[in-house]
Every structure is written in C-alpha cells, then in structure tokens.
Structure 1
Amino acid sequence: MNQAELKDFLDSKVEQYNNPKFIESDPIQIPHQFTLKEDIEISGFLTATISWGNRKSIINNAKRLMLLLDNSPYDFVMNHQENDIEKLKPFVHRTFNGDDCIQFIKSLQHIYKNHDGLENLFGKSAHKNSMQSSISEFKRTFFEIDHLPRTQKHVSDPLRNSAAKRINMFLRWMVRTDTTGVDFGIWKSLSPALLSCPLDVHSGNVARKLNLLKRKQNDGKALLELDISLRKLDATDPVKYDFALFGLGVFEGF
C-alpha cells in the first residue's frame, strides 16, 4: 500500500473500532462509571496502571479497586484516614499489590494537594511535540514523597527508554477529543497532537506488518519511530490510530 492507501485503510479501521461498543470489552469502561472530572482522572489512572495481562482480569480487578475506594475515588484520595487505607492491603493484580496501591493513593493525594491535580502536573512540563518528558517529570513528582522503592516500577519513565504504554493510554483517555464518546477529552489544556500510541505487543506487531515501525523491541525508541509514522497520517490526532492497530491485532488477528 502507498501512503494514501494506508491512510484510507487505517482511517476505516478507526471508524470501525472507535465507537461505544469498544467500551464494553476495554478497561476504559471503569472511568466511564463516573461523571466528576477528578473521579474520572483517578479511576482512569489506577485502571491504566493495572492494565497488563488478561483483559477480563484487568476489568474485574479495577472494579474491585473502585469498590475498595467506596466508588468515590477522589473523595477517598483526599479524605482517607490511616484506618481507611488498611482495607487496600489485600488488593493484588499481578505484581501490583496492596502496599503499591496504598502508595499510589498517598502520591495521588500529594499531587492534588500540592500540584493542583493530574492535569496541571502533566500539562506544565509537556514538550512542544511530545508528552514523554512530561511523563518522566510526572514520575519524579509522584515519588517525591516518602515511598516504597518497589512501587517505582509501576510508573514507567520514557527517558529511560520505556514505551510507557499504560500512561500513554491514560493520556489518550484524558486528552483526546472524541466525538463518539470513547475517550473523554476532559483535559482541555493539552493538545491531542502531543499524544503517543500505547505501544504493546498487538499494536507493535500490526505496525510492523504495515511498515509503520521497523524496530523490533517495543521500547521508547520504537515509540518515537511510530510517533513519526502516525503523525504523517494525522498530525492533529495521531493516537486515533491506536484503535486501528489494536483492533486489527486483537480482534482480527492481523
């Protein structure tokens, strides 16, 4: 396929998968349970954090986590007492355990109390054409309070050559303006043009088959290469192609 044919093909796949039916089988359904901006942000961030492995398990564990937060994640983050967070101790999703969960709640409280929330923190250090340096700065701020060293592994750093798949997915949810109602687009201070594709096994394999990506590892260098390719197809909304790449890989075995 030439460039025009590839764009037409992928645009048709975006239209196929970027619709409300996508929500039914995707972790994005968790923040869709909420209407308050801060509830959407916090539930989305926590859900994205545990979004690796079996999708059914991700969704079930994210639902369980919201119940532990009394289905009011922002209120819990801001107003919890020490005895409240003890009930998070038994939580586990793969290597993300109750201690990690408690640390995340404390770090989120720190961000909302001292850095004016997640949107402000990501926005103030956004680069002119990428969110990757902003993600790195977010991690530094997230762990500037006392924390368990083990918990740092659950927040990726693109400046250490990570593709930061889960945070890039979270940013897609929050920033991307979506007329079909899948992504939220509630962070108006950031442009969708800055976003990067949540690069994983599925999207990476499809991208390679379509010659959008040559690098074999799904790392930070691969993400930069894919960014360049997707921006050539749509410079204003490059991450919309996540729907096409993911859909082709997961639902069509492309």
Structure 2
Amino acid sequence: MNKAELKDFLDEKVLQYNTLDFIESDPVQIPHLFTQKEDIEIAGFLSATIAWGNRKMIIKNSHRMMELMGNAPYDFVMSHTEPDLERLENFVHRTFNGQDFMVFIKSLQNIYKNHNGLEAVFSKNKEINSMQKSISEFKKIFFDIPHAARTQKHISDPLNNSAAKRINMYLRWMCREDNNGVDLGLWKSIPSAALSCPLDVHSGNVARKLGLLNRKQNDAKALLELDTKLRELDANDPVKYDFALFGLGVFESF
C-alpha cells in the first residue's frame, strides 16, 4: 500500500470501530456512567489505571471500584474517612491492590485540593505535539504524598522510556473531540493534535505489519516513531487511528 492507500484503509477502519458499539466491550464505558466533570475524569483515570489484561475482567473490576466509592467518585475522593478507605483493602486487579487504591484516592484528593484538579495538572506542561513531558510531571505531583514505593509502578513515566499506554489512552478519552460519542472530549485545554496513540501489543503488531513502526519494543521510542507516522496521516487527530490499529488487532486478528 502506498501512503494514500494506507490512509484510506485506516480512515475506513476508524469509521468502522469509532462507534457507540465499541463502548460496550471497552473500559471507556466507565466514565460514560457519570455526568459531572470530576466524576467522569476520576472514573476514567481509575479504570484506565487498571486497563491491562483481560478486558472483561478490567471492566468488571472497574465497576467494582466505582461501587466501593458509592458510585460517587469525586465525593468519595474529597470527603472519605479512614473507615471508608478500609473498604478498599480487599480490592485487587492483577498487581494493583487495595493499598494502591488507597494511595490513589489520597493523591487524587491532593490534586483536587491543591492543584486545581486533573485537567489543570495534565495541561500545565503540554507541548505542541506531545503530552509525554506532561505525563512525567503529572507522575511527580501524583506521588507527592506519602506512599509505598511499589505503588509508583502503576503510573508510567514516558521520560523513563515507557510507552505509557494507559495514560495515553486516558488522555484520548478525556481530550479527543469525538463526534461518535466514544471519547468524551471533556478537557478543552489539551488539543487532540498533542495526543499519542496508546501503544500496546495489539496496536504495535498491526502498526509493524502496516509499515508504520519498525522498532521491535513497545516503548517511548517506538511511540515517537508511530506518532510521527500517524501525524503525517492526520496532524489534527492522529490518535483516532488507535481505533483502527486496535480494532484490526483485537477484532480481526490482522
């Protein structure tokens, strides 16, 4: 395929998968449960944090997280008591456990009380076509409270050569203007042009087969390579191609 043919092919796949049907099998459904801005962004952040492994289990455990917070995430974050936090102790998803969950709640409270909320923190260090420095700075602020060292592994740092798949996915949910109702487009301070593709096994394998990616590891260097190619196809909305790459990999075993 030449470049024009590749763009046509991928644009067609975006149209195929960037639809409301996508929501029912994806953790993006969790923030869609809410209407208040803070509820949406906290629900999205927590469910994106545990978005690795079996998708049905991710969705099930994300719903469990919301239930443990009384299905009122912002209110829980801001006004929880110690006994409230103890309810989280038995939560577990893969290596993310109740102790991690408690740290995340306390850190989110710190961010809303002292840093004007999640959007303000993420938009502070954004660059014209990259959120990677912003994600790295976000991690520093996030762990600016007492925490166990083990909990740090649940937020990636792109400046430490991580592809930061889950946070890039979260930013797609929050920032991308989506006329089809999948991505929420809640944060107006960060343009879609600055977003990066959530690079994982599926999107990486498909990208390599299509000649969009040469690097073998799914790391920050691979993400930069993929981002550069996707921006050539659509500079304003490069991350829309996540739907194409992911759909081809997961639903079509491309």
Q: Counterpart of 1:88 in 2: which secondary structure?
A: coil
Q: Aligned equivalents of 2:149 and 2:106: distance in 1? A: 14
Q: Aligned equivalents of 1:28 and 1:236: distance in 2? A: 22
**Per-residue deviation, residues 49-68 of structure 1 (Å, max 9, x unmatched):** 00000000000000011000
Q: Counterpart of 1:43 in 2: which secondary structure?
A: helix
The corresponding residue for 2:120 is 120
1:3-42 to 2 correspondence within 5 Å?
A: 3-42=3-42
Counterpart of 1:180 in structure 2: which amino acid?
N
What is the percentage of aligned positions where both structures have the same residue? 73
Q: Aligned equivalents of 2:253 and 2:129: distance in 1? A: 32
Offset at residue 98 of structure 1 (A): 0.2
1:71-90 to 2 correspondence within 5 Å?
A: 71-90=71-90
Gaps of 5+ in 2: none
The corresponding residue for 1:67 is 67
Please report the TM-score for the alignment, with normalisation by the length of structure 2: 1.00
The corresponding residue for 2:239 is 239
How many residue pairs match? The answer is: 254
Is 1:169 matched with 2:169? Answer: yes
Taking only aligned residues, the RMSD between alpha carbons, in angstroms, comes to 0.4
Q: Aligned equivalents of 2:248 and 2:171: distance in 1? A: 22
**Per-residue deviation, residues 203-245 of structure 1 (Å, max 9, x unmatched):** 0000000000000000000000000000000000000000000
Q: Counterpart of 1:90 in 2: which secondary structure?
A: coil
Please report the TM-score for the alignment, with normalisation by the length of structure 1: 1.00
Q: Aligned equivalents of 1:236 and 1:194: distance in 2? A: 8
Q: Aligned equivalents of 2:206 and 2:97: distance in 1? A: 32
Q: Counterpart of 2:87 in 1: which secondary structure?
A: helix
Q: Aligned equivalents of 2:184 and 2:191: distance in 1? A: 13
1:85-100 to 2 correspondence within 5 Å?
A: 85-100=85-100
The corresponding residue for 1:178 is 178
Q: Aligned equivalents of 1:136 and 1:246: distance in 2? A: 25
The corresponding residue for 2:205 is 205
Counterpart of 2:113 in structure 1: which amino acid?
K
Q: Aligned equivalents of 1:112 and 1:195: distance in 2? A: 23
Is 1:134 matched with 2:134? Answer: yes
Runs of 4+ in 1 over 2 A off after TM superposition: none
Is 1:109 matched with 2:109? Answer: yes
Q: Aligned equivalents of 1:173 and 1:182: distance in 2? A: 8
**Per-residue deviation, residues 100-158 of structure 1 (Å, max 9, x unmatched):** 00000000000000000000000011122200000000000000111111100000000
Q: Aligned equivalents of 1:84 and 1:229: distance in 2? A: 47
Counterpart of 1:118 in structure 2: which amino acid?
L
